[in-house]
Amino acid sequence: MKTTSKILVVAILALGVQLTSCKKYEDGPAISLKSKNKKLVGDWELEKLVGTSSYEDFLNYSYSDFLGGTINFSSSEKNNMEISFENGKLSYNYIMEYSDISPYDTINETDSDIYTENYFENLTISENSNYSWSSGGDSSSFTQNDVWSWLDGTSNKELIMFNDMVTFRILKLTKDELVFESANAYENTYDFSNQKGSIKEETYMKYTFKKK
């Protein structure tokens, strides 16, 4: 009897290790008997979206006056936006900060706005590597038809690419739910004869789709 109990405990522990190792995505599921491709294929409807976007632009520049002196100027602009979608409504919460400094004047301005509109987003993924992604609001709509592929090969299947350009990391994939995220960053500095500055952009989006 003791031997049988030990065997049962070892079997349970081994199964637990196997379940843990099978969890490919951060938000689950831990194990699934259905292939990732088959779960991915189908018609999806956007249920929730959260995102942030930021932009920073700094500039220092100088000019020589007619007396041979130097006049220095500087300006900066910061834009931050929070994006959210739920229950058919897309909202933008936007804040802009602007500063301009010169020997003659100093300007500091802050502006903010909140915009909400009706919105939809549908994604159809086919087995033959084709997809159709449509979205629209109160004023316009857009549809993209192209091909998708796994960026990290056929074994991991965490990174999916659309249109050979846009990459998303899958966080959760079940037969009824698809969650993925995208993160992009860009930074550049420039130095000309009388101008020095930098530009920085960052965007993060997290999508939650439900199977139709």
24 & 39 share domain: no
pLDDT at position 104: 85
Q: How many domains does the chain have?
A: 2
Domain that holds residue 21: 1-31
Percent of the residues in the chain that have a pLDDT greater than 90, as a whole number: 67
6 & 45 share domain: no
40 & 13 share domain: no
Per-residue pLDDT tens over the stretch 80-97: 999 999 999 999 999 999
Is the peptide bond preceding residue 103 cis, with omega within 30 degrees of 0?
Answer: no
8's CB contacts (< 8 A; 6+ apart) are none
Beta bridge partners of 75: 59, 100
pTM: 0.78
Which residue in 127, 175, 133, 167 sits closest to 150, CA to CA? 167
Residue 141 and residue 162: Cα distance in Å, rounded? 19
Instruction: Check residue 157 and give left, alpha or beta (phi > 0: left; psi -120 to 50: alpha).
Output: left
Per-residue pLDDT tens over the stretch 21-67: 345 666 555 545 468 899 999 999 999 999 999 999 999 988 787 77
44 & 6 share domain: no
